Amino acid sequence: GQQVMQIPQYQHVQEGEDFTTYCNSSTTLSNIQWYKQRPGGHPVFLIQLVKSGEVKKQKRLTFQFGEAKKNSSLHITATQTTDVGTYFCAGDMNYGGSQGNLIFGKGTKLSVKP
Amino acid sequence: KAGVTQTPRYLIKTRGQQVTLSCSPISGHRSVSWYQQTPGQGLQFLFEYFSETQRNKGNFPGRFSGRQFSNSRSEMNVSTLELGDSALYLCASSLGQVTGNTIYFGEGSWLTVV
């Protein structure tokens, strides 16, 4: 079936180091969304990418959507302890509007050592 | 604007019992979906309701059911609980538009089956 693969599963970094998580879809996506879940919390929407090759920035976070709209990445520059959590990508598989078309990756759990 | 509200937040049930979880979406949102989150399986889509109709369904057994009311509030029910049903159950709402939906998660209901 349709899948969104996300790697790595875990990432441990020293505070100040960079961090990147990658998502790959088996099918072309209409858009991709990124969420962050803090320990003990619920997923919170970060951003949505729609256009082929799109790049968006939020302070130290850079999000990219591949040219083929099958892959995406989230890069954090100079991580801080507040970045700790699990980052999920969610690929929207078609234009039907249904939330059921969102396929979540398994997430990358980021830990930051001060 | 109030966020997605889920009740109860925590509950403990015994195998074989049934449970009902409630979700109030963000005002104006007509689409409500439910997810099960476990450490091993990640975020798995249960079903989605839009305007009181089930619009999409994931791969869960018939013990998992849901409904949506005219005010968009939703409930999900799990009958004949099994130990493996222990999980965080997340409700999410969105406008349910054709494309580019952003979904907003509630804080979840932590279910423990003993």
Are A104 and B43 in contact (CB < 8 Å)? yes
Q: Is the pLDDT of residue B55 over 90?
A: no
With an 8 Å Cβ cutoff, are A97 and B98 in contact? yes
- Closest-CA residue to B106 (of B19, B53, B37, B54): B37
**pLDDT computed for residue B27 by the predictor:** 94
* Cβ neighbours of residue B1 closer than 8 Å, sequence gap 6 or more: B26, B27
DSSP character for B96?
A: -
Q: Tell me which of B43, B55, B90, B107 to substitute to probe the interface with A (most A C-beta atoms closer than 10 Å).
A: B43
Q: Both tokens of residue A41?
A: 């919390």
Residues of B within 8 A of A31 (CB-CB) are 99-100
The CA angle A19-A21-A23, to the nearest 5 degrees, is 165
Residue B25, preceding bond cis, omega within 30 degrees?
A: no
Do the Cβ atoms of B99 and A88 come within 8 Å?
A: no
A1 confidence band (pLDDT: 50, 70, 90): low
The pairing of strands A4-7 and A71-76 is unpaired
The model's pLDDT over A66-75, given as tens digits with 9 standing for 90+, comes to 999 999 999 9
Other beta carbons within 10 Å of A44? 13
Tell me which chain B residues have a C-beta less than 8 angstroms from the C-beta of A44.
105
Does residue B66 belong to the interface with chain A, where contact is any CB pair within 8 Å?
no
- Which chain B residues are Cβ-neighbours of A29 within 8 angstroms? none
Phi then psi for residue A93, to 5 deg, are -85, -25
State the smallest CA–CA distance between residue A61 and chain B in angstroms: 19
Report d(CA B112, CA B114) in Å as an integer: 6
Cβ pair B101:A88 closer than 8 A? no
pLDDT (0 to 100) of residue B10: 97
* Nearest residue of chain B to residue A86 (CA atoms): B42
* Chain segment B65-100, per-residue pLDDT in tens: 999 999 999 999 999 999 999 999 999 998 877 666
Q: A39 CB near a chain B CB, below 8 Å?
A: no
Q: Say how far apart CA B55 and CA B58 lie, in whole Å.
A: 11
| Structure tokens belonging to residue A42 | 């619920």
- DSSP letters along B79-102, please? -S--GGG-EEEEEEEE---SS---
**Chain A: residue nearest B5 by CA?**
A42
Question: Distance (Å, rounded) from C-alpha B113 to C-alpha A18?
Answer: 40
Per-residue pLDDT tens over the stretch B10-35:
999 999 999 999 999 999 999 999 99
Numbers of helices and strands, H then E, in chain B: 0, 11
pLDDT digits (tens, 9 = 90+) for A85-94: 999 999 987 6
Both tokens of A17, joined, read 């180091």
Closest chain B C-alpha to A96 CA, distance in angstroms: 6
Work out the minimum CA distance from B27 to partner chain A, whole angstroms. Answer: 17
Rounded to 10 degrees, the C-alpha dihedral B11/B65/B63/A39 comes to -40
Neighbours of B59 (CB within 10 A): 8
State the pLDDT at residue A101: 67
B108 three-state secondary structure: coil
User: Integer distance in angstroms from the first to the last C-alpha of chain A?
Assistant: 40
Per the model's pLDDT, the better-predicted residue between B114 and B2 turns out to be B114
